[in-house]
Amino acid sequence: MLSSTSGFQRLSQAALSRSRFLRLAASALLPFVGLRPSAAAGLNPELAQNEGGAPETKDPVASGRMGAILVSQFGPVKIHSYLSPADGFHVNTQMIEGPTAVVIFDGQLLLPYAGEVASYVQALGKPVDRIILSHAHTDHWSGLQVLTERFPDARVFALHGVADQLRARGQARLDIFRPIYGDRIATKVTIPTETITEGLQQIDGITYDFKRFVDAESDLQLAALLPEQKVLMAFDLVFSPNEHAFTVVDHFDHWMIVLEQLKALQDYNTITIGHDTPVHRSAIDSTITYVKRAREIHAASADAKTYSESLKAAFPDRQQAGWVDFSAKLLYAARR
Ligand SMILES: [Zn+2]
């Protein structure tokens, strides 16, 4: 039986400058050393891009990389997490490297970052077995355009219903992002071609337990458990205590129910999330606190501006205040 009690404590320096790496490492490890979230926020300022200073790395692919890579090893299984810079919403792409293949979860918002993911995976020297999309939000699928070009043999999986959501709304979402990001956003919608089934599955000798959740941060969300490694891949169900969460739809009550269900999964002490570095399971509680407060503020706020200002004031230590403005716009647009 494979086991790990330490989770993501082995971090690859990748292309990070020393100071940036230390900030990221501090952010990843703080839950394990028990510092308060407010202390964590102080040590984890918004990541600077292309900061000066030569990285100390033996990874030839890392040269000039804009994103960050964290690696954790569990026996023959390695989890590589690519974390985009802030302008890509700190989206994670998880790469599960087994004995003979790699499984990629999520595809980044911006194409250059998806390109970095592809180059990193290619350097691992193993074929991509499949690409799995966790949910239909643009920041997780836009870059699938690059990944499917670079790995044409890899099938793209998602929960039943996600492909329909992308067919219905994908292009409109890209049209919203285009004025902001120009040619860094996808030019076409990549539709998953395969349906992922719930329950236990072996891929490349690794056991996955896929779970389907509705009406939380998104209408439809995959979570993936690795029971042998005791890793919960929660994607956008759980957010870092250091950053704001996205609250783009009015599912506050049910999201809290889902979080309680995740909390009931005992022993999963390492949680990889959709944005920012992996967290300790205590992040489930801090996400519940956040969603509960957001629900109250939403109920009391007549417009997006009031909601946004009140939520930022309620969590002054959380980074990425821009995510609150972004969320408020969508949340209140949906109301009309
Ligand atoms: Zn997201």
Residues 6 or more apart whose CB falls under 8 angstroms from that of 34 comprise none
8-state DSSP, 183: G
What pLDDT score was predicted for residue 7? 41
Phi, psi of 208, rounded to the nearest 5 degrees: -115, 145
What pLDDT score was predicted for residue 22? 39
Q: Break the chain down into helix, strand, coil percent, rounded to 5.
A: 40, 20, 40
What pLDDT score was predicted for residue 269? 87
* Residue 173 parent element (H or E): helix 162-181
Whole-number Å distance, alpha carbon 149 to ligand 1 midpoint, is 22
8-state DSSP, 243: B
What's the pTM?
0.83
Between CA 281 and CA 95 the distance in angstroms is 21
Whole-number Å distance, alpha carbon 79 to ligand 1 midpoint, is 19
In tens, the pLDDT along 111-156 reads 999 999 999 999 999 999 999 999 999 999 999 999 999 999 999 9
Whole-number Å distance, alpha carbon 144 to ligand 1 midpoint, is 14
In tens, the pLDDT along 263-301 reads 999 889 889 999 999 999 999 999 999 999 999 999 999
8-state DSSP, 281: T
- Which residues are bridge partners to 105 per DSSP? 94, 132
pLDDT in tens, the chain (336 residues): 333 434 443 344 333 333 444 344 434 433 222 222 222 222 222 222 222 222 333 454 566 899 999 999 988 899 999 999 999 999 999 999 999 999 999 999 999 999 999 999 999 999 999 999 999 999 999 999 999 999 999 999 999 999 999 999 999 999 999 999 999 999 999 999 999 999 999 999 999 999 999 999 999 999 999 999 999 999 999 999 999 999 999 999 999 999 999 999 988 988 999 999 999 999 999 999 999 999 999 999 999 999 999 999 999 999 999 999 999 999 999 665
| 294 contacts 304 by C-beta, under 8 angstroms | no
Whole-number Å distance, alpha carbon 139 to ligand 1 midpoint, is 6
Between CA 52 and CA 107 the distance in angstroms is 27
Between CA 200 and CA 71 the distance in angstroms is 24
Whole-number Å distance, alpha carbon 162 to ligand 1 midpoint, is 14
Whole-number Å distance, alpha carbon 309 to ligand 1 midpoint, is 21
E strand residue ranges, 84-230: 92-97, 102-105, 128-132, 155-159, 194-196, 199-203, 206-214, 220-226
Residue from 40, 61, 66 nearest 51 by CA:
66
Q: What is the dihedral of CA 28, 30, 33, 35, to 10 degrees?
A: -170
Whole-number Å distance, alpha carbon 236 to ligand 1 midpoint, is 5
- Which residues are bridge partners to 194 per DSSP? 157
